[in-house]
Structure 1
Amino acid sequence: MSDEILKVVNIQKFYGTRGNVTKAINDISFTVEKGEYVAIMGASGSGKTTLLNCISTIDNVTSGNILIGNEDITKFKEKKLSKFRREELGFIFQDFNLLDTLNAYENIALALTICKVDPSTIDNKVKDVAVKLNITDILYKFPYEISGGQKQRVAAARAIVTNPKMILADEPTGALDSKSAKMLLQSLVHLNEQLNATIMMVTHDAFSASYAKRIMFIKDGRIFNELIRGKDSRKEFFNRIIEVVTLLGGDQRDVF
């Protein structure tokens, strides 16, 4: 029996007026099972970020349905949507989105504080996730005192501390140097394999995508191709990704 955490059914997202309509997402359907690590790739303007925004409840679909844990989020009113976003989804952004006036501990704890979790439980949860992401030594430092890679691991800790149904990552390595990017990607693999976290990551970078277990390639608002890593090594998977990127055509600088 499958354990679907996400079901996307015939979603479409149009922008513009009747005379000038842009189809950002054009009839996409797929499912993600609990514990999967899925990457979405595509050139700039392909619709990959719009797709993530619709799944993350930041944007609304024009038509179709998105079910997360059997709840159809396209039917939610704004108040319920806000509560769902806060309690059931974890976010990792390219630019970290940490609050400069809070230290790392407080940034991680914020979502739990908003949900009125009692202080002793918050303390245990924050320290537990800090150990898993190797950031215990920087918990009481402010964002300006830590590196980009450390900031992104704090952001990852904040994303998972509420034990969300899904972690949604939008170009999480985009602002990092190669060493920090590799550390973050290894952290995401750890969260996926050791904690069974369900991760969906949008990336233009084949190296980042090669850490995932499955990749969906988006072109012109549709799913163009899909790769499953299977028993491939990460390097073998990377080479398969490059082959599909070549098939996608266009300016490859847009994809990488």
Structure 2
Amino acid sequence: MKPILEVKNIEKYYGNKGNVTKAINRISFDVEPGEYVGIMGASGSGKTTLLNCISTIDKVTSGRILVNGKDITKLKGKQLSRFRREQLGFVFQEFNLLDTLTIYENIALALTIMKTPAKEIEDRVRSIAERLLIGDILEKYPYQVSGGQKQRTACARAIVSNPSLILADEPTGALDSKSARMLLDSIETLNLELNATILMVTHDAFTASYCKRILFIKDGKIFNELIRGDDSRKQFFDKIIEVVTLLGGDSTNVF
């Protein structure tokens, strides 16, 4: 089966000839359909820059990034906008919901832009809202619901258009521990039940323990890789802590 995402020897430099910073230094990896992959690394390691390049927020200096076999580093203008709209789903630390729209309308927005028929929009929005346990707040506005509910709304918005790849940047960063657990359970549901392909950046070992595979980034390069396999989340968490310790980082949450 062909990978959803292929990252091929990408580099990202900042600065000029006299003062060049290598944020990403020849990174390569693939993500298969239905995988749930985490990216970890200390602050300044290059993990967010990597996600920004994959999401087309930033441009690589060299190398190629392919999604479903298409080199997205060459896309411009309308092609790039269409790719983002149809192929990517985003979940950020800040929820990025529109306060003037209801929860239902926030989730439905991407489908509305894509001119999806109204009946199909309603069916898809209500189906994903029920899976994420927010079916009872669809008529409320973002300011009327909790942080955890906002982030699950962001997850619903990310998946409702059936994108090829969901990108999550520190999705639990603004949540308390209970809300974070509920969100991670929800993301896991999307992965297991809907076969959603997820790439998530996190600094937190507990959050990362939900992934099936983790890439550890150090100084712009892949430092290590862990595959969960048959491990329990607790066993995987312990292995993550060992690598984080080697990286010289820390993890604020305990299991």
Structure 1 Cα separation of the partners of residues 216 and 14 of structure 2: 21
SS of equivalent residue, structure 2 residue 4: strand
Amino acid at match of 1:54: C
Aligned partners of 1:104 and 1:154 also within 8 Å:
yes
Name the structure 1 match of 2:250: 252
Q: Note the C-alpha offset of 1:96.
A: 0.4
Amino acid at match of 2:187: L
Deviations 1:190-244 (A, max 9, x none): 1101110000000000000000000000000000000000000000000000000
Deviations 1:138-189 (A, max 9, x none): 0010001000000000000000000000000000000000000000001111
Which deviates more, 71-80 or 147-156? 71-80
SS of equivalent residue, structure 1 residue 169: strand
Aligned partners of 2:11 and 2:22 also within 8 Å:
yes
SS of equivalent residue, structure 2 residue 139: coil
Q: CA RMSD in A?
A: 1.4
Structure 2 Cα separation of the partners of residues 121 and 150 of structure 1: 23
- The TM-score, its normalising length taken from structure 1, stands at 0.97
Structure 2 Cα separation of the partners of residues 78 and 229 of structure 1: 39
Q: Note the C-alpha offset of 1:78.
A: 2.3
Structure 2 Cα separation of the partners of residues 178 and 172 of structure 1: 12
Give structure 1 regions of 4+ aligned residues with deviation exceeding 2 angstroms. 251-256
Name the structure 2 match of 1:35: 34
Which deviates more, 114-123 or 86-95? 114-123
Amino acid at match of 2:112: T
User: Where does 1:1-256 land on structure 2 (aligned, <5 Å)?
Assistant: 2-249=1-248, 251-252=249-250
SS of equivalent residue, structure 1 residue 21: strand
Q: Note the C-alpha offset of 1:75.
A: 1.1
Q: Note the C-alpha offset of 1:254.
A: 9.4
Aligned partners of 1:204 and 1:255 also within 8 Å:
no
SS of equivalent residue, structure 1 residue 4: coil
SS of equivalent residue, structure 2 residue 44: coil
Structure 2 Cα separation of the partners of residues 202 and 175 of structure 1: 14
SS of equivalent residue, structure 1 residue 79: helix
Aligned partners of 1:104 and 1:143 also within 8 Å:
yes
Structure 2 Cα separation of the partners of residues 20 and 207 of structure 1: 37
SS of equivalent residue, structure 1 residue 105: helix
Identity of aligned residues (%): 70
Structure 2 Cα separation of the partners of residues 252 and 239 of structure 1: 13
Q: Note the C-alpha offset of 1:132.
A: 1.1
Aligned partners of 1:42 and 1:255 also within 8 Å:
no
Q: Structure 1: any 5+ residue segments left out of the alignment? A: none
Aligned partners of 1:5 and 1:69 also within 8 Å:
yes
Amino acid at match of 1:7: E
Aligned partners of 2:107 and 2:156 also within 8 Å:
yes
Aligned partners of 2:8 and 2:29 also within 8 Å:
yes
Structure 2 Cα separation of the partners of residues 41 and 253 of structure 1: 11
